[in-house]
């Protein structure tokens, strides 16, 4: 489960294998058929090849921009505010019991 | 008089003069929808009952002499990833096939407050991944100009709705160009506002740092009216900006003298010659009107698309983790909770969404994070710097919206990379968070052409001014779709 990803360094493109796709599918909580695995391995490699063009660009002294505006943390007064009624929140639940979302057994 | 051919402003005047009621107008639109919807496939959900109730409510308010917004009583629609209280919101995905939001998105609440009539929810690509509706879990919306429905021209529910008169205006969301690209292909106006100008609260997030909600309208006046209602700070959206919102109708000025317009050459690489010719026509017109048009270098343009692909997939993989069969939507039963998650997500998401989730998970994983994700964020800085430099000299930039006539869907539906690359002119704008407008500018081979105007952050006013001037001085009427010849319904 905790197989370490092979590290992909800049300017050292790495092809991903079906085992990598299996691993990433698990992280993504997706279930793939054998056929899916082959298809996604090929299509993800096509995309990764395309993304390798970014290696042409020297970005050593560039700051990363996760956002374009300089946001500050947003605070509000710690006062009680109204929220949605419990029935409304649970109305879309696939399964509920005693005012809670019900899930299959976990342990 | 065909009511569905009139603009928001014209309809508002008719209602103001009591020549028609909102109920009559809503019924006229419902009739129009029943005539054309089987061909266009614009709507995922129609909200006929609530629409008529809302319309009667507006009529009563008008009868009592209450002061009403110009949008009061106007039939409109919005994309199916914008939450609407009590009305199904599916993101065009099986995983949310039955989701009924218990609250309104801020934009939906504002439009409701203004008395606009919600006719229904428009088809999109599943979770907005694409710019053609090809990836919708339900069906592909037809481009109203693509008479044979076989040429594969891109469309979008909200753009087609305005084009054929199934709604007087609509709202969509733009992560990489959906609003602008589908507006261009359907011959209507589409605007992606500045990041932070329109609240994203209640927009089901795909890529939170790129998504913006924006309008599709028939003309520039309508665009100003809709922006006046939807822009502005919202405490419920932490990325909403506290900036003053102007009265956008004041920007409807027919004058561009002395305005400096930059022409990024990099955006013209790969553009069809006929589209380039339309662009040149617009440039000549603007110069004739006194604008100063000059080339500008945007050297990092070619890197914007791959950086966008990485960032949007990374953010989507994280945002879409919430769909797990526990709180809403589809659940596929299984013995244990992990199997339930996996089965639900595998059956609930479509192929393109699964691919993006896996790619996003891959680029965020240990060992790949710096090489892909951080690298893309650095490229984003460079793309933004290109714009910053250009805007030191220019008031706005002019480019084509789609590189091909109207933008074609991928020949191979699995070729999402080709689809992504069709956004070469629109994707950089989302990375930089800027406002951009797509304006219809004539036709080539029977298909509409759109031109894109990009302005500084929070300077939608510049876009309105240039767009309005072009609209007024080129005397171009909105292109009329030919689709309905096929259905023997002529658009008047």
Domain ranges of chain A: 1-58
- Condensed to tens digits (0 to 9), the pLDDT of residues A50-87 reads 999 999 999 999 999 988 887 778 888 899 988 999 99
Judged by phi (left if over 0) then psi (alpha if -120 to 50, else beta), residue B440 lies in: beta
Query: Are B238 and A94 within 8 A, CB to CB?
Result: no
CB contact under 8 A, A67 and B209: yes
The residue in chain A having the minimum alpha-carbon distance to the alpha carbon of residue B365 is A5
Per-residue confidence (pLDDT) for residue A1, from 0 to 100: 36
For residues B181 and B422, the answer to whether their CB atoms sit within 8 Å is: yes
Q: Which of A31, A67, A76 sits opposite B342 (nearest CB)?
A: A31
User: Which among A6, A62, A63 has CB closest to B367?
Assistant: A6
Of B27, B2, B22, B23, which Cα lies nearest the Cα of B12? B22
Give B57: exposed, middle or buried? Use CB within 10 Å, 0-12, 13-18, 19+: middle
Q: Do A54 and B326 touch (CB under 8 A)?
A: no
Give pLDDT, residue A66: 83
How confident is the model at residue A11, as a pLDDT? 59
Q: How far is A80 from chain B (nearest CA, A)?
A: 15
Residues A24, B355: contact at Cβ < 8 Å? no
- ipTM (interface pTM): 0.91
Distance in angstroms (rounded) separating the CA atoms of residues B179 and B158: 8
Token pair, residue B473, equals 């001085």
Partners of residue B215 on adjacent β-strands: B171
Handedness of CA B401, B406, B410, B411 (dihedral sign): negative
Contact status of B419 with chain A (Cβ, < 8 Å): no
Q: Chain B within 8 Å of A107 (Cβ-Cβ)?
A: no
DSSP state of B372: I
Distance CA A22, CA A28 (A): 10
User: How many whole angstroms separate alpha carbon B135 and alpha carbon B141?
Assistant: 10
Do B368 and A7 count as a contact with CB atoms less than 8 A apart? yes
* Integer Cα distance of B461 and B243 in angstroms: 14
Contacts of B339 in chain A (CB under 8 A): 104
Q: Are strands B189-192 and B260-264 parallel, antiparallel or unpaired?
A: unpaired
What distance in Å separates residue A50's CA from the closest CA in chain B?
A: 7
Closest chain A CA to residue B311: A66
Q: CA torsion angle for B430, B233, B201, B46 (degrees, to 10)?
A: -90
Q: In chain B, where are the structural domains located? A: 3-298+384-485
How many A-B residue pairs are in contact by the CB < 8 A criterion? 168
Measured between beta carbons, which residues in chain A are less than 8 angstroms from residue B379? 54, 57, 59
Q: Which of B377, B372, B301 is closest to A50 using CA atoms? A: B372
pLDDT (tens, 9 = 90+) of chain B, 492 residues, equals 689 989 999 999 999 999 999 999 999 999 999 999 998 999 999 999 999 999 999 999 999 999 999 999 999 999 999 999 999 999 999 999 999 999 999 999 999 999 999 999 999 999 999 878 888 999 888 888 876 544 557 788 999 999 999 999 999 999 999 999 999 999 999 999 999 999 999 999 999 999 999 999 999 999 999 999 999 999 999 999 989 999 999 999 999 999 999 999 999 888 889 999 999 999 999 999 999 999 999 999 999 999 999 999 999 999 999 999 999 999 999 999 999 999 999 999 999 999 999 999 999 998 899 999 999 999 999 999 999 999 999 999 999 999 876 555 554 445 667 777 788 999 999 999 999 999 999 988 888 999 999 999 999 999 999 999 999 988 666 676 654 433 333 333
* Partners of residue A97 on adjacent β-strands: A100
Close Cβ partners of B292 (under 8 Å, ≥ 6 residues apart): B258, B259, B260, B261
B98 touches chain A (CB under 8 A): yes
Q: What is the chain A residue with the closest CA to B378?
A: A64
A89: which chain B residues are within 8 Å (Cβ-Cβ)? 102
Task: Report the alpha-carbon distance of residue B312 to residue B307 in Å, rounded.
Answer: 8
Q: Give the H/E segment covering residue B181.
A: helix B178-186
Tell me if B338 sits within 8 A of B229, measured CB to CB: no
| Topology of domain B3-298+384-485, CATH | Amidase signature (AS) enzymes (3.90.1300)
d(CA B166, CA B155): 14
For A78, the token pair is 């710690």
For the record, the structure tokens of B208 come out as 């939170």
SS3 category, B341: helix
**A window 63-92, beta carbon within 8 A of B:** 63-69, 71, 74, 76, 84, 88-89, 91-92
Residues 6+ apart with CB under 8 A from B121: B43, B44, B45, B47, B77, B78, B79, B80, B82, B84, B87, B88, B89, B90
Are the beta carbons of A46 and B417 separated by less than 8 Å? Answer: yes
Angstroms from B57 CA to nearest CA on chain A? 25
- Chain A residues with CB under 8 Å of B338 CB are 29
d(CA B205, CA B250): 32
B108: closest CA of chain A, how far (Å): 17
CB contact under 8 A, A91 and B100: yes
Q: How far apart are CA B46 and CA B120, in angstroms?
A: 4
For residue B37, the distance in angstroms to the closest alpha carbon of chain A comes to: 29
Of A5, A53, A104, the CB nearest to B367: A5
pTM of the model: 0.94
Backbone angles phi, psi at B173, to 5 degrees: -130, 150
Residue B24 has, within 13 A of its CA and on its CB side, a CA count of 10
Q: What is the pLDDT of residue B150?
A: 45
CB contact under 8 A, B336 and A53: no
Neighbours of B492 (CB within 10 A): 9
Specify the fold of A1-58.
Histone, subunit A (1.10.20)
């Amino acid at each position: 489960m905790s197989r370490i990803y092979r590290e992909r360094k800049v300017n050292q493109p790495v092809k991903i294998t079906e085992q990598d796709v299996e691993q990433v599918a698990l992280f993504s909580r997706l279930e793939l058929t054998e056929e899916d695995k082959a298809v996604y391995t090929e299509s993800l490699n096509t995309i990764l090849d395309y993304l390798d063009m970014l290696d042409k660009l020297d970005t050593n002294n560039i700051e990363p921009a996760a956002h374009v505006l300089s946001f500050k943390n947003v605070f509000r007064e710690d006062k009680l505010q109204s929220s949605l009624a419990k029935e409304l929140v649970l109305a879309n639940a696939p399964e509920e019991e005693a005012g809670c979302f019900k899930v299959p057994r976990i342990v | 008089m065909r009511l569905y051919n009139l603009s928001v402003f014209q309809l508002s005047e008719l209602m103001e003069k009591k020549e028609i009621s909102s109920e009559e107008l809503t019924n006229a639109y419902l009739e129009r929808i029943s005539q054309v919807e089987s061909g266009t496939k614009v709507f995922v959900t129609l909200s006929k009952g609530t629409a008529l109730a809302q319309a009667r409510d507006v009529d009563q308010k008008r009868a009592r002499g209450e002061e009403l917004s110009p949008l009061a009583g106007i039939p409109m629609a919005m994309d199916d990833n914008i939450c609407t209280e009590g009305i199904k919101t599916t993101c065009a995905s099986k995983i949310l096939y039955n989701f009924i939001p218990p609250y309104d998105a801020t934009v939906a609440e504002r439009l409701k407050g203004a008395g606009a009539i919600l006719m229904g929810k428009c088809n999109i690509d599943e979770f907005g991944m694409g710019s053609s509706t090809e990836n919708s879990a339900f069906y592909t919306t037809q481009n109203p100009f693509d008479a044979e429905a076989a040429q594969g021209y891109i469309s979008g529910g909200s753009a087609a709705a305005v084009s054929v008169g199934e709604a007087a205006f609509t709202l969509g969301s733009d992560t990489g160009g959906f609003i602008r690209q589908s507006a261009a292909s359907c011959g209507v106006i589409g605007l992606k506002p500045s990041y932070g100008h329109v609240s994203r609260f209640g927009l089901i997030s795909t890529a939170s740092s790129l998504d913006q909600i924006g309008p599709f309208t028939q003309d520039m006046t309508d665009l100003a009216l809709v922006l006046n209602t939807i822009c502005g700070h919202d405490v419920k959206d932490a990325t909403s900006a506290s900036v003053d919102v102007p009265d956008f109708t004041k920007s409807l000025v027919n004058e561009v003298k002395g305005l400096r317009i930059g022409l990024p050459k990099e955006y013209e690489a790969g553009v069809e010659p006929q589209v380039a010719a339309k662009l040149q026509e617009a440039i000549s017109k603007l110069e004739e009107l006194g604008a100063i048009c000059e080339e500008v270098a945007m050297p990092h343009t070619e890197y914007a698309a791959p950086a966008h692909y990485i960032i949007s997939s990374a953010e989507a993989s994280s945002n879409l983790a919430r769909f797990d069969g526990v709180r809403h939507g589809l659940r596929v039963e299984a013995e244990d909770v992990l199997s339930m998650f996996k089965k639900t997500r595998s059956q609930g998401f479509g192929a393109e969404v699964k691919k993006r989730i896996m790619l996003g998970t891959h680029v965020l994983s240990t060992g790949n994070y710096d090489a892909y994700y951080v690298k893309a964020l650095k490229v984003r800085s460079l793309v933004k710097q290109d714009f910053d430099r250009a805007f030191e000299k220019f008031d706005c930039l002019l480019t084509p919206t789609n590189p091909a006539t109207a933008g074609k869907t991928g020949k191979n539906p699995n070729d999402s990379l080709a689809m992504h690359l069709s956004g070469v002119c629109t994707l950089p704008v989302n990375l930089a968070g800027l406002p951009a407008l797509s304006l219809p500018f004539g036709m080539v081979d029977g298909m509409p052409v759109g031109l894109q105007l990009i302005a500084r952050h929070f300077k939608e006013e510049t876009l309105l001014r240039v767009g309005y001037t072009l609209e007024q001085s080129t005397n171009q009427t909105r292109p009329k779709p030919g689709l309905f010849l096929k259905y023997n319904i002529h658009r008047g």
